[in-house]
A and B are shown apart, each in its own frame.
Chain A
Amino acid sequence: MPMQPECDVAVIGGGLVGVAIACGLRLAGVNTVLLDEGDAAIRASRGNFGLVWVQGKGDLLAPYTPWAREAGRVWPELARWLKEFTGLDVGLEQPGGVFLCMTEDDLAARAAQMARVAEQSAEPYEYEMVDSRRLRELVPQVGPKVAGASYSAYDGQANPIRLFRALHRAFVQLGGRYAPNAGVTAIERRSSAYRLKTADGEWTANRIVLASGLGNVGLGEQLGISIPVKPMRGQIMVTERLPQLFPLVMEQIRQTDDGTLLIGTSWEDVGFDLSTSYGTTRRIARNALDFVPMLRSVSVVRSWAALRILTPDASPIYDEIAPGAFLVTCHSGVSLAGNHVFATARWIADGRIPQNMRAFSRARFEPNHQERVA
């Protein structure tokens, strides 16, 4: 029989969300183990785009707007701390961002969405709808076919894979225990503790955090709770390295601090299919050249698909779904990283949900939920 190590909190899932929370728990002094799957895990954290994005969030759930803004505000603190503590520069920059709209119709729809978000926001919400001419003053490389964009000074980007690594390193440096190849296969509730069966032995923990992305669905079933997330495929292409090109961050084409361009993106409801496709590759390439024609002869070196973890209102869920079992799921593991390390981990550490996280309970998806946002 494998021995059963005791720990206060077991975080299930070693992606960006899980490792951010595990780090935060260690910062709060909680005895934490991070249970991760093996190398071949389906992992959104390896495939994401790396935007630190604020504008437009909260369209379908008003409290998400201040939560996303707060995340943008605490990000610099996270980046500074990681640099000092791990030596890794996670490449944060927040120069403002534009969401490009190809047609006048796209632009009008975007304007309506941004207006809704601004109107819902309790604090002042600054953004600007810009036409083609103004857009090209902001980003001269944008092509003449593009109708316009929404601009906000809140947006930025980071290097998501370095963030991922820095959080892993920080967690271990903080004395956290990392257990790879230990994907959780069964959860059992025993009086006041949880017993977890993993691919590599068993663990018992006083509290658990479900941070397994799409894997949370299966973990929730173990606790008799349905978790309303589903995969939404996004395809991304990456180019050869280029000198830094753009003064601002664009939602559709982003340049990493390594010099490569990430070009996206798609929203495809295709289940757990992680393959890229011919048609989407072609469409993304076409759009990219309409957005930035100067990229014609830039080489694509690789493409990939990743699965977003999407709730019906595209907003996170933070909920204690059973006593001592905390669910954390979102599809913005980079943008929300600072919140997860600081606020979300604190909630799990002391068990009291802060006011600004209360709207993210799972109950909002139940049919007769009172506070449902219209």
Chain B
Amino acid sequence: MIETVDAVIIGAGPAGAAAAASLRELGIASVLLDERPEAGGNIYRGALGGAFARSMSLGKDYASGAAWLREAISSGLDVRPSSAVSRIDADVVSYDSGGTIRRLRTRHLVLATGAIERAMPLPGWTLPGVMGVGAAQLLMKQSGLVPDGRYVLCGNGPLLLLLAKQLIDLGALPAAIVETGRRTPIRTAFSHGPALLEHRASVAKGLGFLAAIRQAGIPVYRDARSIRVEGDARVRAIRFTSAGQAHELAVDLVLCHEGIVPNIQLSLTLGCAHDWDDAQASFRPRVDAWGETSRPGTFAIGDCAGILGAAAAPHSGRLAALAIASALDRLRPAQRDQLASLERRHLLSERRFRHFLDDAYRPALSAQSPIADEVVVCRCERIAANEVRAAVRDGARGPAQAKVFTRCGMGPCQGRVCGPAVTRIIAEETGQSREEIGNYHPRFPLKPMVLAELATAPDEEADHADAA
């Protein structure tokens, strides 16, 4: 018999953990799967046993969030780390656990797969020595690693500023910040006045980041354009223009960032409907007021349903939990709606602040200026932008045909990285909207899996091989 549970939650970040904790409070058992060895997601990576798990060095938000997460998952939840979902067939979730496939049957599936960094395909971005700001921050949270040598932060967004502040505090100062996008902070701030007033603590925090960068004397190059990373075997320098002047900085490491986008690989694979979100320049699954997707019984919560941040994530998790409890007759609709209204108030408030952030930090380089012809967009298969353009000339009008024509998106990441860039190139070349063009259709297994493991998968009705 396949193990059957009321709900399976995929992703043990703040949204998933809150959903599981909330379900438990409502008397519903769920299983919380996470592909990493520890719960916490990206935002609270290392919260359980990482380098800064019980330190204030990364700031108050990380410390208190980490403490909340430890509390949430130690309250008797069935958390299964190192459990990567390999496929989902109707109501059965298969996942890899230490080289063995295990299975769970459920009527309620909750996707809490978080966000990934937006790819920033600029010339030279595939050189060793270029990495994401978020990736660098994960190394710091998990293992206490900070950049060695001369490095720059390149791009824009709250996470970039936060990492700058954290690294300044840890004494690993960046050589410069190369900022993309033309911001008019004062005008942007004006139009979001009420939201900023409501979130003045967050505003103060952000201003604190800027002050720290100023005090540390770190040069900030604004509205940088024509950015190129130079080097042969690895990064040697970064070149760009700013305020009409050309610059070249000799560096060992370039940390790029232009925001994060929902990790929609699973919702795409499941065939959920997705919408293009222009303000966030990304696709997100279409969800109702409870977080339920177009696939009945499947919910998307937290940042994988649209970027709202860690503070919002638990509220969307609890909303999904309330809907599931009601569907299981553990909660009367009136109770559910009453409990939901509080969560919704928080979400609305977070959404107002997010509108400001979206406005203030538009991805400039990775969403607006055309990707140079020779720049590799699909890293797995090494397909350059001009090859995608040639596919359009040969008749491709969408990612599926472009994939078949060029192999872009056919590698191990299945287009997780290049999907947005490929959709964008096709949009620019054909004049169709991104909504019309859509996305790749990723396939199972979502991450590579060896044949021996697939071959020794349990019998269709057994939950693991030994029982077969």
Residues of chain A having any CB pair with chain B under 8 Å: 14, 36, 38-40, 43, 45-46, 161, 164-165, 168-169, 172, 178, 180-181, 237-240, 258, 263, 275-279, 281-282, 285-286, 288-289, 295-304
Contact = CB atoms under 8 A, between A and B. Distances in A.
Nearest to B271: A275
B394 interface: yes
A161 B404 contact: yes
Interface string B438-452: 100001110011111
B242 interface: no
A295 B399 contact: no
Contact of B452 (A169, A275, A289): A289
Given A40-B400, A40-B438, A302-B443, A240 B412 contact: yes
B455 interface: yes
B270 to A, nearest CB: 10
A289 B457 CA distance: 13
A281 B87 contact: yes
B405 interface: yes
Contact of A288 (B92, B412, B443, B451): B451
A277 B457 CA distance: 13
A282 B451 contact: no
A239 B412 CA distance: 9
Nearest to B87: A278
Contacts of B407: 161, 258
B398 interface: yes
A301 B399 CA distance: 18
B443 A276 contact: yes
Nearest to A261: B451
Nearest to B426: A39
Number of chain B interface residues as a range: 20 to 34
Contacts of A169: 394
10 contacts: A14-B395, A43-B400, A178-B395, A180-B397, A276-B87, A285-B457, A299-B449, A299-B450, A300-B445, A304-B443
Contacts of B438: 39-40
Contact of A172 (B395, B398, B412, B460): B395
B3 to A, nearest CB: 15
B94 interface: yes
A345 B56 CA distance: 74
Contacts of B401: 39, 46
Given A165-B404, A281-B457, 13 more contacts: A14-B395, A39-B401, A39-B438, A40-B438, A46-B404, A161-B405, A168-B395, A276-B444, A278-B89, A299-B450, A301-B414, A301-B448, A302-B443
Contacts of B437: 39
B67 interface: no
Interface in B427-444: 437-438, 443-444
Contacts of B399: 39
Contacts, number: 110
Interface of B: 87, 89, 92, 94, 391, 394-401, 404-405, 407, 410-412, 414, 437-438, 443-445, 448-452, 454-455, 457, 460
A239 B407 CA distance: 14
Main secondary structure of the interface of A (DSSP, over half): mixed
B379 to A, nearest CB: 14
Nearest to A279: B460
B451 A38 contact: no
Contacts of A45: 404
Given A40-B398, A165-B405, A282-B454, A300 B449 contact: yes
B451 to A, nearest CB: 5
Nearest to A41: B400
Nearest to A171: B395
Choose among B394, B404, B452 the residue with the greatest number of A CB atoms under 10 Å from its CB: B394
B339 to A, nearest CB: 36
Nearest to A19: B395
A288 B456 CA distance: 12
A14 B395 CA distance: 10
B405 A282 contact: no
Contact of A289 (B397, B445, B455): B455
A282 B457 contact: yes
Contact of A285 (B391, B397, B411, B455): B455
Contacts of B92: 278
A265 to B, nearest CB: 15
Nearest to B414: A302
Given A180-B397, A240-B448, A302 B455 contact: no
Given A278-B457, A300-B448, A300-B449, A168 B394 contact: yes
A294 B146 CA distance: 41
A177 to B, nearest CB: 11
Contacts of A14: 395
Contact of A239 (B414, B443, B451): B451
Name the residue among B391, B395, B399, B451 with the largest chain A CB count within 10 angstroms: B451
A257 to B, nearest CB: 12
Contacts of A276: 87, 443-444
Given A39-B437, A278-B460, A301 B412 contact: yes
Contacts of B391: 165
A165 B405 CA distance: 6
Contacts of A164: 404-405
Contacts of B414: 301-302
Contact of B398 (A38, A168, A281, A299): A38
A180 B391 CA distance: 13
B444 A303 contact: yes
A164 B410 CA distance: 16
B207 to A, nearest CB: 46
A300 B450 contact: yes
Nearest to B452: A296
A286 B449 contact: no
- Most chain B beta-carbon neighbours within 10 Å: one of A240, A295, A301: A301
Contacts of B452: 289, 296-297
Contacts of A298: 450-451
B440 to A, nearest CB: 10
Contacts of A180: 395, 397
A254 to B, nearest CB: 15
A301 B415 CA distance: 12
A94 B401 CA distance: 27
Nearest to B449: A300
Most buried by B among A180, A282, A297: A282
